[in-house]
A and B are shown apart, each in its own frame.
Chain A
């Protein structure tokens, strides 16, 4: 069977599975639509959280980023897992005890203020749409490369599938679909990694293979990798890159941002008991760690394979580069997507791949008569093209396509749900039309989800040029606005309405302002985005960490000089802090 048919078959089978699950688990009440009736088993919720969290960025882009950043890629690995420690210990169990439907609802109740709730809704919608656009782009890439349909058709199919299970099934449908999607995506990620690790090092466990020697030699993979990349003028793989303060700040912003992302937090509203929220966070991190500890191996081995492919006759030697005629078939296929490109600048029929920006790379070029780097490789193809680069069988390639789509769809569905519940529950039910019935609210939730899907599809088809830039926004905003507000709401009895609102606005304004200043998303950047211009040497990606500190400081300061929270709020906090009486579950 050819690759095309096989891919259609595998992707089609997974779609049928998702839709089947959606029909089986339709939501009938608002409780089921928003939080799956609080009846999700903690292990299942852990898996669903894994799929919810691991987006197209984790599945498709992260290993590629690590491949090119080396040690610098650690910020994503630590940042996107360490946040679960904060989530498990500082937020999840308490929010589950509180036991309502949405994150803005908690902020509104705890700070006895509709204004606070509205600010939280704005943050939530901005964060979630930023994310959704990225997922839809991921769906588009996978469809156009593997199914060879055009982007629009691919997007419409993807939107149609999400529509069925998110609109019909609500949180309940999404949860069980995500469990299935987790299984698909983790299998698709790990199988090629096992093959490649075995090919290169002889050890099938990628985490161990990465620390092993290259098959048939006694040279460690890392030593060889450091050697070849520095020979080509790149940074050493296992060290270097960004400054320590920047790595520190980015890691912190990603960790705190992860803990403050509404679509992740809300997953912990769906389990039956407080103790389940705690254990579920552990399960979530376990399922996430399966992918996140394999990703460094995928990245390093992809970099090694790429360098070996580009320099078949010896790395950085005069005649060692790959010739245009002999370039491998996978390269020709991926050239059509524009994600890999070559240009024979010095007209010698060979493709020289090296770092033209570094002094040692330039010295090399002068010595051998190269006219610049001739190969450009997009981070995103590292995972997707990996099975082809390693010459793995067609079914593995088809599986990777299904895995990429599963990762993108599962995250998109989770995001669409928090957007729709913020609109139907936090805006409509509590602010605009208080006396609508549950049935009407459910209908409004479904309509909001449908509209959100259309907007997400539009953003995926016309990706705003700033999608990559605004990812820093999403984490920065979550870190500087929602996380501190929720955490202080639980751990402090003194922070009041005025403090929380002032803190959120200050954190948000500072973080947004800093990012706009250097990245200029709607305006022209006001200063060059270089370390010399940064505050304390912290890049816009890491500034959410400073925004968080500002939020905490402003909130405490303002709370000190304004009236303390009323007695009923003190009681609410006491009750959140004690697990007893968390309310009964609804069986599925």
Chain B
């Protein structure tokens, strides 16, 4: 999945993949990690009336997904300009 051509297009694509990778790692940790795999452990902690693992599964993960897309859209627009591939 990587480009070996040392062009600006290649550098843009690598920066893009890095951004996506970071976002997807967080995406995975919050939903599959906190909401499923670690749910029983986290349920020992309470967030108001919510057991924390349950909160991640039914509320927190959705808020995190939204934040991730907002961050991604902002960061990609920044990269587009930096590497001069933005739409004029």
Docked Cα-Cα span, A93 to B57, in Å, equals 28
B31 touches A491 (CB 8 A): no
Whether B32 pairs with A239 at a CB distance below 8 angstroms is no
Given contacts A82-B65, A244-B36, contact A274 B87 (CB under 8 A): yes
28 contacts across the A-B interface (CB closer than 8 A): A71-B39, A71-B58, A74-B36, A78-B35, A82-B31, A84-B65, A85-B65, A90-B20, A211-B50, A222-B51, A222-B54, A238-B51, A247-B36, A248-B36, A248-B37, A251-B32, A251-B36, A273-B87, A275-B77, A278-B72, A279-B73, A282-B66, A282-B69, A285-B66, A292-B62, A578-B12, A579-B87, A580-B88
Question: Smallest distance from the beta carbon of A340 to chain B beta carbons, Å?
Answer: 25
Which residues of A lie under 8 Å from residue B27 when comparing CB positions?
Answer: 82, 85
Contacts of B86 in A (CB 8 A): 275, 579-580
In the bound complex, what is the Cα–Cα distance between A436 and B27 (angstroms)? 46
A293 touches B63 (CB 8 A): yes
Shortest Cβ distance from B48 into A: residue: A211
Instruction: Check A78 against B13 for contact (C-beta < 8 Å).
Output: no
- Asked if B58 contacts A77 (CB within 8 A), the reply is yes
Contacts of B24 in A (CB 8 A): 85, 89
Chain B neighbourhood of A578, CB < 8 A? 9, 12, 85
List residues of chain B with CB within 8 A of the CB of A90: 20
**Which residues on the B side are within 8 Å of A183 (C-beta)?**
none
Residues of A within 8 A of B16 (CB): 577
Q: Count B-side interface residues using an 8 Å CB cutoff.
A: 45
B47 CB-CB contact with A under 8 Å: yes
- The verdict on A275 contacting B62 (CB below 8 Å), with A71-B57, A577-B9 known, is no
Q: Does the CB pair A207–B59 fall under 8 Å?
A: yes
B12 contacts across to A, CB distance below 8 A: 577-578
Answer yes or no: A348 CB below 8 A from chain B CBs. Answer: no
Instruction: For the complex of A and B, list the 6 residue pairs with the smallest distance between their C-beta atoms, beginning with the closest.
Output: A220-B49, A74-B57, A211-B48, A278-B73, A282-B69, A296-B58
Q: How far is the CA of A12 from the CA of B27 in the complex (A)?
A: 42
Contacting B76 at CB < 8 Å: which of A238, A278, A286? A278
Segment 28-53 of B: residues with Cβ below 8 Å from A: 31-32, 35-37, 39-40, 43, 47-51
* A210 and B68 contacting across the interface, CB-CB below 8 Å: no
A88 to B69, CA, bound (A): 7
A574 → chain B closest CB, angstroms: 6
Taking A88-B69, A89-B20 as contacts, is the C-beta distance between A491 and B32 under 8 angstroms?
Answer: no
A88 x B87 contact (CB < 8 A): no
In this assembly, does A261 line the interface, its C-beta being within 8 Å of a C-beta of chain B? no
B37 and A293 contact, CB distance less than 8 A: no
Complex alpha-carbon distance, A581 and B80, angstroms? 12
- Residues of A within 8 Å of B87, CB to CB, are 273-275, 579-582
